[in-house]
Structure formats: structure tokens, C-alpha cells
Amino acid sequence: DTGVSQNPRHKITKRGQNVTFRCDPISEHNRLYWYRQTLGQGPEFLTYFQNEAQLEKSRLLSDRFSAERPKGSFSTLEIQRTEQGDSAMYLCASSFGDRVNEKLFFGSGTQLSVL
């Protein structure tokens, strides 16, 4: 399978616990994005990597959120001290090409439920 892979598919956690999600992008894609999607909404941008450099972070990304992309390959998104408001689908996407017509290829997401 050469698509974007995300693990786990589902995560249920108790409030206050830490969680970590993993994203494996398409191998030749140098750009990687994290988005968050809540019920009834479209995806909202969280953060962006070009190779291993994290170039942008949304204001939605509080200090409890951290993302890494060591060696410009896979990426992890960690949420510390989870809150019920963190419950959402977390989508990873990778891409190539020039910026305006850049096509994002998404994974199936990690559905987080914070109890």
C-alpha cells in the first residue's frame, strides 16, 4: 500500500492522559500536514512540515500539542494532558508539487475520544 498510513485508527483515553499518533506519508512526498476534524466540520489546519522542518503551527495547536518529523519521514503528533475538547479525528496528509495546485493525499485518520 503506497498511501498515507495513520496509526492507531481509534484511540480512547481518559482525560489527563498523554496520547501519540503516527503518520507515514507517501515516500516521495516532502510535505506533511496535520489537520483536525470535528463532527460536522471540514478539516482544520494544525501544523506543517517540509522535510524534517516544522514550518508552521496553527493557533489551534496549544502548548499541549507537539509534532515531530525526524529525518523527514514519518511524523508523530503528541497530545499531553488530554482534555475532552481534544476529541476529534486527526488527519495526516502529504503532498508534492507547486503550492497553488498542490494536491494533498490524506490518511484515514486517528479518531480520538477523550472520556
Report the DSSP pairing between strands 65-68 and 53-57.
Answer: unpaired
Cβ atoms of 34 and 4 within 8 Å: the answer is no
Beta strands 105-106 and 75-79 are unpaired
99 binds another protein (CB under 8 A): yes
Residue 102 DSSP one-character state: P
Stretch that binds another protein, among 19-27, 36-44, 63-71, 77-85 (CB under 8 A): 36-44
108 near another protein (CB under 8 A): yes
Q: Does the protein bind another protein through residue 48 (CB under 8 A)?
A: yes
Among 41, 51, 73, 113, binds another protein (CB under 8 A): 41
13 interacts with another protein by CB under 8 A: no
106 touches another protein (CB under 8 A): yes
Between the CA of residue 51 and those of 2, 5, 25, 81, 94, what are the distances in Å? 18, 17, 11, 28, 11
User: What is the contact surface with another protein in residues (CB under 8 A)?
Assistant: 3, 9, 31, 33, 40-45, 48, 55-56, 58, 89, 91, 93, 99-109, 111
